[in-house]
Copies of this chain bind each other. A is one copy, B any other.
Amino acid sequence: MAVRTTPRGLTRRGRETRERIVKTAAELVFDQGLDRTTIDDVRTAANVSSSQLYHYFDDKPALVRAVIEYQADTIVGGQEHFDLSSLGGWREWREFVVGHERSLNCRGGCPIGSLGSQVSETEPDAREAVAAGFKRWEDTIRAGLRKMHRLGRLAPEADPDQLALATLAALQGGLLLAQVERDTKPLEAALDAMIALIASHSGGAV
């Protein structure tokens, strides 16, 4: 398992500096990819010295893990605003996700999914950090579907856990196709397919 890199025993100012470095690195990696982002790019953009940066992160892999955790925190935090225990909540979430990608002109793809492709075959620790981020994301989707099931809004034979995993996959693929094709249509088709499948188990309940 990837070890979380949450800081301990830092002063408030230390935490703020660390957060600024991570946020800056996350933005650079999102814009230009992991391999093209150097420690020097991050240092310059975050306006910190080498010794400051290496005080918080032993090496680039440690910073990459922190970036993945930062992006997972942001995504899971955003996801938790939506109530995925009703079809209405699913539709609101779908509108949010599609609108967000449209506002980015479909650039960048998923902040953690696109890193998954970049690190999986070469950086095992970073791959595990992305996997942990995906698991946390899947958990929030599954919690909504399990509640929907428990409340009788999904037919007894529906499997909320399988639907949650399939939804995360559809979302990831939709984001990738949207990024490559610079068009939200694949993302819309993917999310609409999952909502149609969930609706087919809900017997018309909302």
Interface residues of A (CB under 8 A from B): 31-33, 35-36, 107-109, 113-114, 116-118, 120-122, 127, 130-131, 134, 162-163, 165-177, 179-182, 185-187, 189-190, 192-194, 196-197, 200
Contacts and interface: CB of A to CB of B under 8 A. Distances in A.
Contact of A170 (B33, B120, B173, B182): B173
B189 A169 contact: yes
B189 A165 contact: yes
23 contacts: A33-B118, A35-B35, A36-B122, A113-B173, A114-B117, A116-B179, A120-B180, A130-B180, A162-B192, A165-B186, A165-B189, A166-B186, A168-B173, A169-B174, A169-B176, A169-B186, A170-B170, A170-B193, A171-B173, A172-B172, A172-B177, A173-B174, A193-B194
Given A107-B121, A118-B118, A169 B190 contact: yes
Contacts of A167: 193
Contacts of A181: 131, 134
A183 to B, nearest CB: 9
Contacts of A108: 121
A177 B177 CA distance: 15
B179 A31 contact: no
A159 B194 CA distance: 14
Central interface residue in A107, A165, A187, by most chain B CB within 10 Å: A165
